[in-house]
Amino acid sequence: MSSLTIRLATITDVPLILHFIRGLAEYERLPDAVVATEALLAEQLFGERPGAEVLIAEWDGAPAGFALFCHNFSTFLGRRGLWLEDLFVEPAHRGRGIGKALLARLAAIAVERDCGRLEWSVLDWNTDAIGFYRSLGAVAMDEWTTFRVTGADLAILARGVKEE
């Protein structure tokens, strides 16, 4: 009988985490967007001030998927929440309930930590994922628009001056 194990990642999992990140980028049609390195992930995930945590899913002892998450905060709820940054299951392991099990574990962590919510984003073209998330009781926050500042614009904003 096949078995699923979900565990917290350790620093020795950094190469595997980067492998999953690259697999997700391929799936999302963004392979050139990955600039993360093993050294950067080791520092950011397992250094002095870890910025996120990672769950690793294993099917019969083989790596099958991951979920990378961190805390956010809701001022309206007055409580922390969990933000799921990435969820990925290897194509060969899809259809076995691994994604649902990872989300269930995240929900359990949120409850254990007294979080007010679990949130994530999904690309609007990913109708399979949207349907899956809705089947779990997730509600789309269609009235919200995500904004992002990166690269040179982030540096400019940090200086407090927008160059025209």
Give the active site residue among 39, 133, 160, 162: 133
- DSSP letters, 87-104, are EEE-GGGTTSSHHHHHHH
C-alpha radius of gyration, the chain, whole number: 17
Q: 1, 60 in Cβ contact below 8 A? A: no
Confidence (pTM): 0.92
Which of 45, 34, 36, 35 has the alpha carbon at shortest distance from 12? 45
Nearest residue to 82 via CA among 57, 56, 104, 49: 104
Among 11-25, 122-136, 140-154, the range with the most confident prediction by mean pLDDT is: 11-25
Q: Give the single-character DSSP code of 58.
A: E
CATH superfamily ID and name for 4-159: Gcn5-related N-acetyltransferase (GNAT) (3.40.630.30)
How large is the average pLDDT for residues 3-30?
A: 97
Active-site residue flag, 27? no
pLDDT tens across 103-146, in order?
A: 999 999 999 999 999 999 999 999 999 999 999 999 999 999 99
**What pLDDT is attached to residue 163?**
59
pLDDT for the residue numbered 50: 97
Query: Per-residue pLDDT for 102 more than 70?
Result: yes
**For residue 48, what is the DSSP state?**
S
Give the 3-state secondary structure of residue 38.
helix
